[in-house]
Amino acid sequence: MSRAALLVLADGRFPAGGHAHSGGAEAAVRAGRITGAASLEDFCRGRLTTSGLVAASLAAAAALGVDPGELDAAADARTPAPALRAAARKLGRQLLRAARATWPCGELDALAARFPTGAHQPVALGVVARAAGLDARDAAHCAAYESVSGPASATVRLLSLDPFDATGVLARLAPDLDHVAGQAVRAARTAAHEGADALPACSAPLLEIGAELHAARPVRLFAS
């Protein structure tokens, strides 16, 4: 694996569309569940250990070479809200576009051909990690980190939160993040033998409900 490639892929400026999504933070801010750094941290910890763990497991399994079609169906089954499915596919397609230009290879072309309307973003992320020469652990870390870095940077814009406080939240979550990535890799290894049913299926109902409410709002800053 290349450490530098991991930095390229995990960089928030990697042009794959993430900047327009808040990871549920906008809906949570509007509902009064995120009001400052402390509640942002709670929100991020909740997201990390639910949809973050699921995303990290999917990404790790895809990086191990588990069939993307099976993983994409598993992602659908773990994403009840149609708005979140749509957002995940959109982001998967955007990620694939950026990655195909960045690390051109047949496997990414094949994934694009197989999922013309986009594979779930974590599944695409795992295949992209492979193409970038990264392993399952790297893919899991990327997915887990994205599950909290998106809400943190969105909250800076939504609440004019002090950016140092938001970054402090991410730093404090680092041990949890490592833990989640480890769990995800173990689950992915099991899934490589036993199939995608072995992947975690934790859900966060408020994220799902918030996403649906958000999608119906005429005025919003973020796409999801």
Residue of 5, 8, 64, 98 that binds another protein (CB under 8 A): 98
Residue of 43, 103, 145, 222 that binds another protein (CB under 8 A): 222
Instruction: Looking at residues 190 to 219 of the shown chain, list those that interact with another protein (rule: CB under 8 A).
Output: 218-219
CB of 92 to another protein, least distance (A): 11
Q: Report the residue number, 51 or 94, with the smaller CB distance to another protein.
A: 94
**Does 85 interact with another protein (rule: CB under 8 A)?**
no
**Does 177 interact with another protein (rule: CB under 8 A)?**
no
Residue of 42, 109, 162, 194 that binds another protein (CB under 8 A): 109
CA distance 139 to 122: 9
Q: Report the residue number, 20 or 206, with the smaller CB distance to another protein.
A: 20
Within 10 angstroms of residue 211's Cβ, the number of other Cβ atoms is: 24
**Does 94 interact with another protein (rule: CB under 8 A)?**
yes
Residue of 28, 154, 177, 187 that binds another protein (CB under 8 A): 154
Instruction: Looking at residues 22 to 81 of the shown chain, list those that interact with another protein (rule: CB under 8 A).
Output: 22
CA distance 26 to 128: 28
Residue of 112, 134, 166, 177 that binds another protein (CB under 8 A): 112
User: How many alpha carbons lie under 13 Å from residue 28 in its C-beta half-sphere?
Assistant: 25
| Site for another protein, rule CB under 8 A | 13, 15-22, 90, 93-95, 97-98, 100-101, 109, 112-113, 116-117, 154, 157-158, 218-223
